[in-house]
Amino acid sequence: MELEGGCACRAVRYRLLAAPLIVHACHCRDCQRITGSAFVINIWIERRFVETGPVLPRSFKLTAGTGKAHEVFFCDACATTVWSRYHAPPGDTLFVRAGTLDRPEAVEPDVHIFTRSKLPWVVLPAGVPAFESMYGDFASVWSAESLARFRRNAAEHVR
């Protein structure tokens, strides 16, 4: 899977060098505000697999529900949010906004989270797992392959 994308003004460009670990649709209020929309589509992936062009996004920090930092990266020129980095999970991973892909139809959410603040008119697809908040048991949601990749990444980036 070759996924490329970038911001609206095309200054920030990126390419994903691996398949997503998992794709989240997050319906939390922060994601609604940041996107100005009903939910965000996040590709969770190791940072090393996000190859960036010459222009890097800037960032600001919010406090996530975990109490740890949620760093949001955006284009300095057009303010498109391109990815986030959550400091709570182990390892060095990013949450790349699937709406910034050149072909956003290339991915679909594997799981819907924070459905407690889902807008009432959003109808979740049948057969896709959904959780009121963040799920705790990764093994029941993730593929074995992604779980192995995630654990490997966490072991390589002990903080």
Using CB under 5 A, list all residues that contact Zn ion. Answer: 7, 9, 11, 26, 28, 31, 75, 77-78
- Exposure of 4 by Cβ count < 10 A (0-12 exposed, 13-18 middle, 19+ buried)? middle
Please check whether residue 55 is in contact with residue 12, taking contact to mean a CB–CB distance below 8 angstroms.
yes
In angstroms, give the least distance from the CB of 43 to Zn ion: 14
In angstroms, give the least distance from the CB of 80 to Zn ion: 5
In angstroms, give the least distance from the CB of 76 to Zn ion: 7
Tell me whether residue 7 or residue 43 sits nearer to Zn ion (CB atom): 7
Sign of the four-CA dihedral 100, 106, 110, 116? positive
Q: In the sheet where 81-86 sits, what is the strand order?
A: 58-63, 69-74, 81-86, 93-97, 40-46, 22-26, 111-113
Tell me whether residue 78 or residue 155 sits nearer to Zn ion (CB atom): 78
In angstroms, give the least distance from the CB of 55 to Zn ion: 8
Q: Around 96, how many Cα atoms within 13 Å sit in the side-chain half-sphere? A: 34
Tell me whether residue 88 or residue 148 sits nearer to Zn ion (CB atom): 88
Tell me whether residue 48 or residue 135 sits nearer to Zn ion (CB atom): 135
Tell me whether residue 42 or residue 146 sits nearer to Zn ion (CB atom): 42
Which residues make Cβ contacts (< 8 Å) with residue 38, sequence separation at least 6? 27, 32, 118, 119, 122
In angstroms, give the least distance from the CB of 148 to Zn ion: 25
